[in-house]
Amino acid sequence: MCRVAFDRGFEVLSQHRIAELKRYKHKALASGALTKVIRDPAILVRAVKTFATNRNLREVPPEELLRDAESSVHALSRLASHPAKDAFADWLPVDVTVDVEELGELFRKHGSDKSTEHDYFEVYGSILAAKRSEPIRILEIGLGTNNLAYQSNMGLGGRPGASLRAFRDWASKADVIGADIDREILFEEDRLRTWFVDQTDSHTLQALASQVGPGFDLIIDDGLHLPNANLNSIEALLPLLKSDGTMVVEDIDPIHLHYWQVASAVMAGYDTYLTERRGGYIFVIRYR
């Protein structure tokens, strides 16, 4: 999604250059232009100076385009209508029941930070508790690689597949699927399968979507915590949700909140919630 927008930016810039050149050509060949220059030669000097400094006619470095795009997103986020702070609580009154506590204990047992550094288990338990005994389907991006070569690594103490095993053990009929960029940690167990995915490559996300099929009760993005990667995942995986399903983007950096404020404003047909939990922000999406 972000890459398409970036490419589109270059395309628009090129169109501006063509339009500007045509405008200069039109002015230069317009009747009376030569007469004006003869009467006031300084006009020609000013015209050449304007032409030379016209931003639409020079090559703009990618980093400058990115700065402009970032500034635009910030402006859009300020214009976006922000939901009331209690909107998330109104939709999901988090209730730490026995079911929810058991999910938290399983996260701790398997080594997931969803109940140690964060309290995300309360959200997931509250969402899924009523379906715990049903054949629910869960998909999570990010297995928790401990390979430091990957930007999305969990550090040397990471335990790949921790949260997947917790969900599998908590819901006896659950079909749990995971995906990660680190092929070395992919595995398969009872009611648990994993696939390769690179969130910066939309083709791999589309391939994942076609392989696992639709019908998910919960989709979690706990992979590469960058807006472009998250938005790519949302675009590819959101159609896989059941009508009453939920998608959650975890660990949103506060410096990126403006992206999610804009996303919330433009996602027609969905209820979205940007809310702060212990240890981080999450972005929640549900069909309206």
Domain residues for the domain of 219 are 87-287
Residue 81 is predicted with a pLDDT of 74
CB atoms within 10 A of CB 228: 16
- Does residue 194 sit in the same domain as residue 136? yes
- Does residue 132 sit in the same domain as residue 177? yes
Q: Is residue 68 part of a domain?
A: no
- Domain finish residue from 44, 60, 76: 60
Q: Is residue 77 part of a domain?
A: no
- Residues 91, 271: contact at Cβ < 8 Å? yes
- Does residue 276 sit in the same domain as residue 240? yes
Question: Looking at the DSSP assignment, which residues form a beta bridge with residue 175?
Answer: 137
Residue 99 is predicted with a pLDDT of 97
- Does residue 142 sit in the same domain as residue 216? yes
- Does residue 11 sit in the same domain as residue 132? no
* Of 50, 45, 56, the residue nearest 10 (C-alpha): 56
Q: Is residue 71 part of a domain?
A: no
Q: Give me the CATH number covering residue 227.
A: 3.40.50.150
- Does residue 111 sit in the same domain as residue 223? yes
Residue 6 is predicted with a pLDDT of 47
Amino acid at 140: E
- Domain finish residue from 60, 79, 98: 60
Amino acid at 16: H
- Does residue 142 sit in the same domain as residue 199? yes
Residue 10 is predicted with a pLDDT of 47
Q: Is residue 82 part of a domain?
A: no
- Does residue 42 sit in the same domain as residue 180? no
Q: Is residue 130 part of a domain?
A: yes
- Does residue 205 sit in the same domain as residue 91? yes
Q: Is residue 67 part of a domain?
A: no
Instruction: Give how many domains the chain has, as a whole number.
Output: 2
- Report phi then psi at 137, rounded to 5: -120, 135
Q: For strands 241-252 and 280-287, give the pairing.
A: antiparallel
Instruction: Give the number of residues written for the chain.
Output: 288
Q: Is residue 97 part of a domain?
A: yes
pLDDT digits (tens, 9 = 90+) for 256-280: 999 999 999 989 889 999 999 999 9
Q: Which residues of the chain have pLDDT under 50?
A: 1-2, 4, 6, 10
Residue 1 is predicted with a pLDDT of 46
Residue 182 is predicted with a pLDDT of 93
- Does residue 187 sit in the same domain as residue 283? yes
- Does residue 93 sit in the same domain as residue 23? no
- Domain finish residue from 60, 78, 107: 60
Q: Is residue 124 part of a domain?
A: yes
Amino acid at 47: A
- Does residue 53 sit in the same domain as residue 91? no
